[in-house]
Structure 1
Amino acid sequence: MPIFNKAKKPKHEDRAIAKVEPRKLSFTALPPREALPALGEDEDRRAAIFADRAAYVAERRALMVEIEADKSIDIAPEVAELIGEAPSTKAKKRERVAELRRMETVAGQAIELIEKRIAAARPLAERAICAAARPEAEKRVAALVEALQAVDAAHMELNDLILAIEAQGVSAGGLGQIKPFFLGDRQDPQRKIAEYTKELRGAGYDA
């Protein structure tokens, strides 16, 4: 009887998707907190208050657990004063819990106010960031416009070639699909490159 070898199982393929590192940008914009120092100060202040409030919450919850577990007599400060004794530890903890609740509320109100100030300052920071980046933007826009003008000229020359063939009563289709339709008609004053340069001029750039 012939012996058949068992088919070898294919090696497990690694289907994990390779992580693609994000491309490093060739320009670093000014951070909002540097563009508007007052914004950075408010953000730092908000972070500090957030941390304080978190500490208040943690302490209050721990004290509430201790109070719940404490089965001793609860002597309030007012009662302790009348009987000439010190308030119970449990009563002191209750007072601290009430104080912590008040501090949490005040911290929340402060955070809300600071967040409103941060929101109001954002537009100012954005304008400052764009103003700082404007010189570099002008340089890069100029380079792009120069490249687009070269594309526009090359587009016209290609269009002239196609028109010359068609003037002989021949379809230029024999050359294959060579018309860059994504650029629009070269004779159209509203073609994409023309419209883009018009928008640049409207934004104050040389185009």
Structure 2
Amino acid sequence: MPIFNKTPRAKPDARPAKVAPIKLSFTALTAREALPSLGEDQDRREAIVAERAAHVAERKALQVEIAADTSLDIAPEVAALIGEAPSAKAQKRERVAELRRLEAVAGQAIELIEKRIAAARPAAERAICAAARPEAERRVAALVEALRAVDVAHIELNDLFLAIEAEGASTDGLGQIRPFFLSDPRDPQRRIAQYLKELKGAGYDV
């Protein structure tokens, strides 16, 4: 019976497809640029986190050494009474205790800094928006100009429908070209009018 060498099928890649980042036409300030004190706190936090990680690594390594050490354990207090130096194991135990203390202090510092960062975040967001406001005003003005042109075009298109219907004819022959998403073109509460009202309420000159 012939034996065929079958090429194994490649398994589909279960990893999510990489999506290229969207290229934006505007770059906003980062939080640390908008509020330098926030950046300083973030840097300080990262430094303390790294220092605490080093303490943890050292402590765990010492604990492994202590567990493997079968030599006599002479505590510093006992060694002082008998006039000898404390055992290496005892000295490692002391270092482990000191490292635990340093880890706890670092944890408290990190918690405090994170609270300060959270408290400063609203001020940073306001500063980011304040810096972007001039560009927002420019872009809003361009959008308002385009929307007003759409509003006029919408009214003119609706006039065409009304003229046809005034003759007793249906506009169905034109196809579905009514922009229902814009609401009624003569409604004071139509969507474009409402948006312009919201812009004015936000302090934009429209």
With normalisation by structure 2, the TM-score equals 0.91
Paired residue type of 1:41: E
Cα separation, 1, equivalents of 2:178 and 2:205: 29
Shift of residue 18 of structure 1? 7.1
User: In structure 2, what residue type is equivalent to 1:70?
Assistant: D
Cα-to-partner distance string for 1:43-101 (whole Å, 9 max, x where unaligned)? 00000000000000000000000000000000000000000000000000000000000
Alignment match, 2:100: 101
Question: Is 1:25 aligned to residue 24 of structure 2?
Answer: yes
Measured after TM superposition, the shift of residue 21 of structure 1 is: 2.4
Moved more, 55-64 or 183-192: 183-192
Distance 1:22 1:70 in 2: 53
Partner of 1:87 in structure 2?
86
Match of 1:163, as an amino acid? L
Aligned length: 196
CA distance in 2, matches of 1:160, 1:110: 69
How big is the shift at 1:19? 4.9
Rounded Cα–Cα distance in structure 1 between residues aligned with 2:80 and 2:57? 30
Measured in 1, the distance between the counterparts of 2:26 and 2:56 equals 43
Two-structure CA RMSD over aligned residues (Å): 1.8
The residue number in structure 1 matching 2:5 is: none
Give the secondary structure class of the aligned counterpart of 1:22.
coil
Aligned partner of 2:63 in structure 1 is: 64
1:146-205 deviations in Å (ceiling 9; x for gaps) = 000000000000000000011111111111111100111101111111111110000001
Q: Within 1, Cα distance between the matches of 2:98 and 2:152?
A: 76
Paired position in structure 2 for 1:111: 110
SS in 2 for 1:44: helix
1:99-155 deviation digits (Å, cap 9, x = unpaired): 000000000000000000000000000000000000000000000000000000000
Aligned to 2:151: 152
Please, which runs of 5 or more residues in structure 2 have no aligned partner?
1-8
Q: How does 1:52-201 map to 2 (within 5 A)?
A: 52-201=51-200
Q: How does the TM-score come out when normalised to structure 1?
A: 0.91
Query: In the alignment, residue 146 of structure 1 is paired with which amino acid?
Result: E
Structure 2 counterparts to residues 44-55 of structure 1, below 5 A: 44-55=43-54
% identity of equivalent residues: 78
